[in-house]
Structure formats: structure tokens, C-alpha cells
Structure 1
């Protein structure tokens, strides 16, 4: 279940209702899918074959298509990151820059953990959304954010897009942002 840490106060928010309520006030969509429906052999597997990626997408086909229909997403894929990923540190440097998009950034976590760092309203500032299997988040277009891995450095996530080109980031300079 997702948990939130507000960076300027170190306040933590937990519990599905509390997390969802906080994120709604920040214009961030949060949902929860049933991660246990994934076959057991894929719960902790982070280096995936094309067949295993297709199996994960097939397992969550109904949820993906429902979310896509409600939010206008046209394409989706699966990303798997771990220490087995070639050039993982270089890839993370690309992710770990505050940026925006001209469409939502959506992640449905199917295994592992990750963190979205999001710029909230002026009274909140930046906050971390710690995600695990089953958590689904959509950061709205033009909202400053970035994504990174947690200590275990392992994640598998479905990504949904409106633009068929996929993930296009626009750097966001913010003097108030401080890395944790």
C-alpha cells in the first residue's frame, strides 16, 4: 500500500483512504489493483523475458483497458528495472531530474517498489509517494515530479500513454527543490 512523506515536515500519511484523499487534493490519481492475481513466479522477478512481460500485461488486461478507457490512454508497455538492467545508474540519472510532461505520467506497479517525488500545492511543497505492488498512480500533465527506485532497486510497472511516442520529459527548474 502506498505511503506518503511530506518533505518539508517529514509527516507521513498511510492507509489507502488517507493516501487517496491526500493525493486527490494534489490532483494526483491513486488506485489499487489486486497484485496477488499475478502468477507467484512473477511476484519477485525483475529480469523478464518478452513472454513474461506479455503474461503480466495479459494478467492486468482488464484493469489496463478500464483505466485507458476512463483516462484516454492509447498505448501501454511494461518496464522492469533492477541491478540486472544494463546501465541502471545512467538510466536512473535520467529519471531523477525534476520534469513535467504534456500528458499524465502513469505507473501501475506489479512488483517491487518505487518513489514518485511530486511538487504539491504551495502549502505542502514536495512530497514522496512510496509505491509497491498493486499501487497505481497518475501524475497529471504539467505537474513537476520525478521517479526513482527505493533501496531494493527493483520494480516492474505498467506505463500508460496518450502520446504514442511514449515518455517525453521537459526539464523543470525549481530552486525550492532539494534532494532528500
Structure 2
């Protein structure tokens, strides 16, 4: 996992758009959690992921593969949906099994985009109510395990004045947007 400020330059979101690097502790103060669990041929990674799922009370999972080839004519629409800034009312837990993707999250309190590169083996937890978006990398392929507390669902609430008042957004801000938060300097 690598994290840095998104450079905000125009261009394809599958490009790195690298800006100033940031320490992962900045993300932790925003409720974003990381675990690096290398995928091994013996399947030991499965037990590690299951421990995290059990600890966080997740009961369901699925595996999805996304690529231009697999999605065909629906690829552009699918990528537009996940690239558009949104939040979820549940945590979003993703564990790439192959390929790579970029999760961009809004920094508190600045609202700047932070880009997180998640490679195979990088389990990431985004808290409910955090604004974020997703893009594949330039290989345009990812195979990801998704974890859910209940039956699998993916409901995006796209950013708007109404979404800013969503109870999960308000809770997120109350939990993580503290004025006394120390800004960590770039590494």
C-alpha cells in the first residue's frame, strides 16, 4: 500500500497521478485501516483474512473480477460509477487477490484527495461515511475479495448537499474530524 496526494492534473484516472507522499498514520486518523497479508500458495492468507472478518463481525464475502475484457460494453459505465465521488452506509472492506487499483479518499479536514494504491495482498477498510472513489490502474484488471456484515450489497450515495447530511456521514465526521488532530508531515 502506498498513499500520496492526488495531483489533480487532468488525465486518465488509471494513471498514478502521484503527488506528495503521506504517512499511512494520516489515513489511520481518518478511520482507514490497512493490513498487508501476502497471498501465498498454501492459502495461509485465508486464515488471516478470516480472523479480521470475524473480529469485525463480517459474515459474507464474494470475489469479483473487473477488467475491460470481462465487462465488455459495460466497462466504461461501471468505471464511471465507481469513479464518481460517493460514500457507503457500511464499511467497505476490499482485499485484492490479483491486479491493482486506486482508492481515493477525501482527507479530513482539508477535503484534498489522497490516493491509495492497493496491490494484491493489501486489505483495506474504509469507514462508513467517508467520501471516496475507485479506479483501476493502467493494466485495467483487478480480482478482489469483498467482505460484508450482511448479504452482499453495494449502494453508492453520490456526493451532494443531501448526502452531506446522511447520518453515516455525520457520524463519520463526528468520529474522525477533530480540530485538534495533528497534521502529519509528508515523508
What range is the shorter-chain TM-score in? 0.7 to 0.9
Matching of residues 18-97 of structure 1 within 5 Å? 18-19=23-24, 21-35=25-39, 37-38=40-41, 60-86=45-71, 87-97=74-84
Cα 1:131–1:85 change in 2 (3 A) is same
Report the RMSD for the aligned CA atoms in angstroms: 2.1
Alignment partners' CA distance in 2, 1:38 and 1:169 = 34
| Equivalent residues of 1:108, 1:159 under 8 A apart | yes
Matches within 5 A, 1:156-175: 156-173=143-160
- Answer yes or no: is 1:108 the counterpart of 2:95: yes
Instruction: Structure 2 unaligned segments of length 5 or more: list them.
Output: 9-18, 162-187
SS across alignment from 1:85: helix
C-alpha separation between the residues in 2 aligned to 1:23 and 1:100? 16
Show structure 1 runs of 5+ residues with no match: 40-57, 175-180
Question: Displacement, 1:165?
Answer: 4.0
Cα contact 1:92–1:148 (8 A) shared by 2: yes
Q: Are 1:113 and 1:154, in contact at CA under 8 Å, matched by a contact in 2? A: yes
Secondary structure of the structure 2 residue equivalent to 1:78: strand
Residues 81 and 38 of structure 1: is their aligned pair in 2 closer, same or farther, counting only changes over 3 Å?
farther
TM-score (norm 2): 0.72
Contact 2:61 2:152 in 1 (8 A): no
Q: Could you say if the C-alpha distance between residues 124 and 97 of structure 1 is closer, same or farther in structure 2, counting changes exceeding 3 Å?
A: closer
Moved beyond 4 Å, runs of 4+: none
Distance in 2 of aligned mates of 1:60 and 1:97: 31
Matches of 1:69 and 1:4, distance apart in 2? 27
**In the aligned structure 2, how far is the partner of 1:84 from the partner of 1:59?**
30
